[in-house]
Amino acid sequence: MDFAPDQRTQDLTARAREFIAGHVLPAEPELEQELAAGKEFWGAPPVIHDLRARARDAGLWNLFLPGEHGAGLSQLQYAPVAELTGYSPQLAPVAMNCAAPDSGNMEILNEFGTAAQQEEWLHPLLEARIRSAFCMTEPGVASSDASQIRTRIQRDGGDWVITGRKWWSTGAMSPDARLLIVMGVTDPEAPRHRQQSMVLVPRDAPGVQIVRPLTVFGYDDRDHGGHAEIAFDEVRVPADAILQGPGEGFAIAQARLGPGRIHHCMRALGMAERALDLVRERASARSTFGRKLADQGVLREWGAEARIQIEALRLLVLKTAWLMDTVGNRAAMTEIQAIKIAVPRAVQAVLDRAIQVFGAAGVSSDVPLAALWAGSRALRLADGPDEVHLSSLGRAEFRRPPVL
């Protein structure tokens, strides 16, 4: 057992740290201004383009992606870099082309796409020429249960015809999101996990209607293309727009989930560290009732508790990454579920308390805490609410063999 990161990890971490501290954080106010100026605009704010160029130059590009198309990092190597991007989650991941949902979409195109599909969609995504959305969750349905999907994908001659309604399609409000990866039912008579398929749908295909944006605690997340409700009304795509083939949808979705979840957790840890940095600075600068905040017992106790939680959960994330690298995503399922539950919750608690330290400013847009909070809160619902995962994890716990 060895807790020291390897050389490549150390190098990349140092480079990412330099890039984010030197370029990303200083660009945050610029982003604010651009967003304030363009209230009706959902595309990428201009500041992104400059950051992307710098990230590519620094070799901080597509790091999330294993294999030849990406940087070839293991999950364990990617972890500390991904964590640092969480420090500025509106800018850093997208600047380094590692932002959800594109990263997950690139993963499945990389793993499951044909050469032609990769040529058409993966390559532009890898170069950030376009963006994409993932259309799985549906209104009125328990999204934690993939088998409840109602969108139909039916064969009609040489086409697939898609009809249904999706929501929480993150990024899809942006016109840059040229590609929608849509999950739907191709064969309702097939076994439970062989009914679904995934098709690649251009956002401008006839019959695709972007219905409305959704908000997360009042935030529209327009810098990332928001979260769309989308109606598909007899949308036609050619036969070869299907990923892998009919009935493969559920398996592809599962393959996407593991990395997606752990990457969310990594970034969430960075969000917590950002909060702790902000609190540390304020607590050293500010006094109430004649005592520096940093010297007040209640705040110290909180700082200690936050540190313990973050350290312990980071190790759990790293061990999960190591398991994914060594025994595979499926065998690491229990651990992925554990961090998916524990990390967002702990990070949310850190952010909540940090907000208290900042007083009323904490809930406003003057400090990033409230927005970070909303992001971490949403993670407790993404891919199914905590409760579903706790129940599943608990079932596994009661099926373990005894220690002795």
Positions 116 through 135 that interact with a copy of itself (CB under 8 A): none
Shortest spacing between CB 270 and a copy of itself, in angstroms:
8
Sequence-ordered strand ranges (E) for 118-244? 131-135, 152-156, 159-170, 177-185, 196-202, 208-214, 227-238
282-341 residues near a copy of itself, rule: CB under 8 A:
283-284, 286, 288-289, 294, 296-308, 311-313, 315-316, 318-319, 322-323, 326, 335, 338, 341
Name the one range near a copy of itself by CB under 8 A: 114-122, 174-182, 234-242, 268-276: 268-276
Residues 126, 86 contacting (CB under 8 angstroms): no
Among 14, 21, 37, 53, binds a copy of itself (CB under 8 A): 21
- 152-156 and 159-170 strand pairing: antiparallel
Q: Is 335 helix (H, G, I), strand (E, B) or coil?
A: helix
205-234 residues near a copy of itself, rule: CB under 8 A:
214-220
Provide the CA 274 distance to its chain's centre, in angstroms: 17
Q: Does 7 bind a copy of itself (CB under 8 A)?
A: no
Distance CA 301, CA 105 (A): 42
Q: Give 56 or 377: the residue with its C-beta nearer to a copy of itself.
A: 377
Q: Does 380 bind a copy of itself (CB under 8 A)?
A: yes
Q: Give 19 or 160: the residue with its C-beta nearer to a copy of itself.
A: 19
Distance CA 369, CA 279 (A): 10
Distance CA 318, CA 310 (A): 12
- The CA-to-CA distance between both ends of the chain, in Å, stands at 23
Q: Does 376 bind a copy of itself (CB under 8 A)?
A: no
382-401 residues near a copy of itself, rule: CB under 8 A:
382, 385-395, 397-398, 400
Q: Give 117 or 320: the residue with its C-beta nearer to a copy of itself.
A: 320
Q: Round the CA-based radius of gyration of the chain to a whole number and report it.
A: 21
87-116 residues near a copy of itself, rule: CB under 8 A:
87
Q: Give 204 or 397: the residue with its C-beta nearer to a copy of itself.
A: 397
HSE (CB half, 13 Å, CA atoms) of 373?
Answer: 18
Shortest spacing between CB 158 and a copy of itself, in angstroms:
35
